[in-house]
A = this chain, B = another copy of it.
Amino acid sequence: MRPEELPEIRHLHLFRDMTQANFEALMASSYAQNFPQGLEMIRQGDPADFLHVVVEGSVELFARWGGREGTMAVVRPVSTFILAACIRDAPYLMSARTLERARIILIPSSDLRAMFRRDPEFSVAVINELASCYRSVVRNAKTLKLRNSRERVASYLLRQSLLAGGVPSYALPVEKRLLASYLGMTAENLSRTLRTLEESGVKMDGARVIITDRAKLNALAQPDTLIDGPDMFANESGSGLPAAGQ
């Protein structure tokens, strides 16, 4: 592991409050690994042997069933994923693959589980992290159940603009095909939907989003802190596809 990576990890909410000695112990048994683009480094169903921390690149979490698959989240530096599976010592519910070349820290989940029995501050941090992840997935389920695809696209586009500070124009952080999968629709349907959204205050230019009438877009998306997140502005990732603890 590189020396400059440790402070970054230490800085995560999850590890911020534990004692230095415990942090070092945890890191001592961990190691870093580089993955090429497009590599599936976690397969759903595998035992959760390691907590993963992305320090470089980006990772897609996705799920498969039968022949179909769907994107559940995109994880960007610096954040962890599949925490819940590690804690439960249970199989991963999602698969993970690199979207680009990525560098990942692997923390043995047995050490992790031992640690929150030893460091009370750490267990409080884990509690907060998990509660936060839980709420994030609930929001996700809400948007899937309560909004149709057009509304999901509109609120996604609006949210991204707000995350960037309310800018009228920005570039999509992910490919459209991935975005479609994340929003639970086909690439074709997303493409068409984006076209028709020109009447509703937002226009595309390639991967560039241009909000032409925020009021109209707002009226369609009906943003709601109980779905789109109040911590919208606190999201460090910038992918717009929330990180997840699994």
Q: Which residues of A contact B (CB under 8 A)?
A: 44-45, 63-66, 68-70, 72, 83-85, 87-88, 90-91, 93-94, 116-117, 120, 123-124, 126-128, 130-135, 137-142, 144-147, 184, 222, 224-227, 230, 244-246
**Most B CB within 10 A of own CB, among A84, A128, A184, A224:** A84
A65-B132 in contact (CB<8A):
no
Name the contact of A127 in the complex, choosing from B93, B127, B226 (C-beta under 8 A): B127
Closest to A244 in B: B138
- Partner pick for A139 among B85, B93, B139, B230, CB 8 A cutoff: B93
Q: Which of chain B's residues have a CB closer than 8 A to the CB of A85?
A: 135
Given A65-B227, A144-B144, also A245-B127 (CB < 8 A): no
Q: A94-B138, A139-B93, A145-B70 are in contact. Are A87 and B127 (CB under 8 A)?
A: yes
Additional A-B contact list (11), CB under 8 Å, known A65-B222, A70-B146, A116-B127: A63-B145, A65-B224, A66-B222, A88-B128, A90-B135, A91-B225, A93-B135, A94-B138, A116-B124, A130-B130, A144-B145
Q: Which residues of B contact A131 (CB under 8 A)?
A: 83-84, 87-88, 130
Q: What is the distance, in angstroms, from A137's C-beta to the closest C-beta of chain B?
A: 4
The residue on B at minimum CB distance from A61 is B138
Contact A138 B93 (CB under 8 A): yes
CB-nearest residue of chain B relative to A142? B63
- Complex A-B: 6 CB contacts under 8 Å: A65-B222, A84-B132, A123-B124, A133-B134, A134-B134, A135-B246
Closest 5 CB pairs of A and B: A65-B146, A130-B130, A84-B131, A70-B145, A87-B131
A17 to B133, CA, bound (A): 24
Contact of A72 among B65, B90, B141 (CB under 8 A): B141
CB distance from A223 to the nearest CB of B (A): 10
Which residue from B72, B130, B226 sits with its C-beta under 8 Å from A45?
Answer: B226
Chain B neighbourhood of A246, CB < 8 A: 134-135, 138
Chain B min CB distance to A191 (Å): 19
- Whether the pair B116, A117 counts as a contact (CB closer than 8 A) is no
Q: Which of A94, A134, A246 has the most CB of B within 10 A?
A: A134
Query: A227 contacts which chain B residues (CB < 8 A)?
Result: 65
Instruction: Give CA–CA (A56, B59) in the complex, Å.
Output: 44
Residues of B within 8 A of A137 (CB): 134, 137-138, 141
